Amino acid sequence: MLVEAGAWLDHRLGVGASIREAARHPVPRSSASWWYVFGSCTFAVMVLQFITGMCLATVYAPTADRAWQSLLYLNYNQPLGWFIRALHGWGSNFMIALVCIHLAQVFLFGAYKYPRELTWTAGVVLLLCTLGMAFTGQVLRFDQDAYWGLGIAAAIAGRTPLIGGRVVKIILGGPIIAGDTLSRFFTLHVFVIPAVLIAFVVLHLFLVLKLGINEWPMPGRIVRRETYLAEYHKMVTEDGEPFFPYAAQKDLVAIGLVIAALVVTAAIMGPIGPNGEPDPAIIQTVPRPDFFFLWLFSAFALLPPWTETFLMLTGPVVAIALLFAIPFISGTGEKSFRRRPMSVVLLVMTFMTIGILIYLGTYSPWSPHMEAWSGTPTPVDYVRGRTPLELQGAILIQAKQCRNCHSLGGRGGMRGPALDDTATRLTPNQIVRQILEGGGNMPAYGKNLSPAEVNALVAFLETMHPGDEPPARSSINPAVAPSY
């Protein structure tokens, strides 16, 4: 029955032969390796994302007043709605991770070299699309974190000279994040980027089939434009195996494992967000972008302020341009990573940098802590034995929200130095000047504090030196010689 129907279809369409041909196309024996499975895995997760995404789209309402509510409905009311959300959310993280591993593998194995430059270029487009999907998806969550992620993007775009304001308007659909913003991102996430994604996946796969899977790189086997194609042809005819089932087996097993891991992760970790309602009037929040943008966020937090604008605008452009350019910079020559030490170092450094930045962004509170001022009490040790004026200073540290940026007893923001031992570094006069004039990313409080308030703050801060360390003193007051 089935076979007959298949034959009927094939007779009309006539594609069976080419599919069979594609499945059977010979691949170098060496390429049937566990290292070569990441592309297929990414593809599989992408298909899963499409499926779960379609399920979610049936419930999701892309309007500002109902988006957040519809996610809550999925989480708490729709049977298994939470699980689909979890699969989709973690699927996105998995996909990014797999794309990065795939990219690293292709880079290490020199698979981007002649004649596969275009395959690499299409791959970079796919990487950007994946990140674009992750970003727009995060916005669709439309909670406070979404606001934040978007806020950063808008702030970056807004710094573009001359056209900054207009770019922000195009991204957000207006000067601020609102309902129009959401419909724009919904369109991007559901129509525009997926269309590009599918087109480039087709191109990418077509190229993989046409040019053949990269052989396992051997040190000393040099890629030359004149000879490579003939060599490759010889390799697959003499020492090749059909793609299916020879190489595909490993792909299928790996896909199964990845999907199982994804299902387990989703079941254990649950859906991502949504957290608080995106109400701009609510400022009691500590928003954080998702991890794949967290590293950008911490990079910008760490940069010296005067380089920020320049690097924010040129950095990503240069990085992406470099990625595209790689096969054109080193399109021939050695493929083996054993003979390309610089490439290995470059790759390891890049991943390490991003990893460290993500770590820093996760574990140190860069962002001003909106709730720190009210939530976190002054450490009791700083209350006991303090004079009335000093206690007033401690109250003002809370009231003036200095702890958004400064920590006491390890709690509070990290934009500025911890204040626990400030008196060992600054003399009272320097403290007064720091508070009144600010500087180095600290706002000047001169106009917002009364003299009595400044005196109280300084009195309190002057006590901020550990018992065994003397306070700082001005160099014009000589130290009093200890009397024996």
Residue 404 found at the interface with ligand HEC (CB under 6 A):
yes
CA-based R_g, the chain, Å? 29
Of positions 426, 456, 459, 472, contacts ligand HEC by CB under 6 A: 426
Q: Which does 322 bind (CB under 5 to 8 A by kind): another protein, ligand HEC, none?
A: none
Q: Which of residues 346-375 bind another protein (CB under 8 A)?
A: 371, 373-375
Q: Which of residues 395-414 bind another protein (CB under 8 A)?
A: 395-396, 398-399
Of positions 399, 429, 446, 470, contacts ligand HEC by CB under 6 A: 399
User: Quick one: which segment of 1-9, 11-19, 220-228, 272-280 binds another protein (CB under 8 A)?
Assistant: 272-280
Residue 31 found at the interface with another protein (CB under 8 A):
no
Q: Which of residues 442-471 bind ligand HEC (CB under 6 A)?
A: 442-443, 445, 457, 461
Of positions 14, 304, 341, 388, contacts another protein by CB under 8 A: 388
Q: Which does 456 bind (CB under 5 to 8 A by kind): another protein, ligand HEC, none?
A: another protein
Identify any residues that bridge with 28 across adjacent strands, giving them in sequence order.
240
Of positions 15, 19, 54, 80, contacts another protein by CB under 8 A: 80
Residue 434 found at the interface with ligand HEC (CB under 6 A):
yes
Total residues in contact with ligand HEC, by rule CB under 6 A: 29
Q: Which does 267 bind (CB under 5 to 8 A by kind): ligand HEC, another protein, none?
A: another protein
For ligand HEC, the closer CB: 111 or 456: 456
For another protein, the closer CB: 87 or 193: 87
To the nearest whole angstrom, how small is the minimum distance from the Cβ of residue 450 to another protein? 7
Decide if 149 contacts 107 (C-beta within 8 A).
Answer: no
Q: Could you identify the residue written with the tokens 């699927």?
A: 91
CA distance 365 to 294: 12
413: tokens are 């923001």
Is 482 exposed, middle or buried (CB count within 10 Å of its CB: 0-12, 13-18, 19+)?
exposed
Of positions 250, 400, 433, 465, contacts ligand HEC by CB under 6 A: 400
Q: Which does 404 bind (CB under 5 to 8 A by kind): ligand HEC, another protein, none?
A: ligand HEC
Decide if 141 contacts 74 (C-beta within 8 A).
Answer: no
CA-closest candidate to residue 269, choices 300, 291, 294:
291
CA-angle at 208, arms to 206 and 212, nearest 5°: 125
CA-closest candidate to residue 177, choices 92, 278, 106:
278
CA distance 186 to 184: 5
For another protein, the closer CB: 335 or 369: 369
Contacts of 154 (CB under 8 A, 6+ apart): 168, 171, 172, 177
Contacts of 463 (CB under 8 A, 6+ apart): 382, 386, 390, 423
For ligand HEC, the closer CB: 440 or 482: 440
**Cα 167–chain centre separation:** 22
CA distance 266 to 89: 8
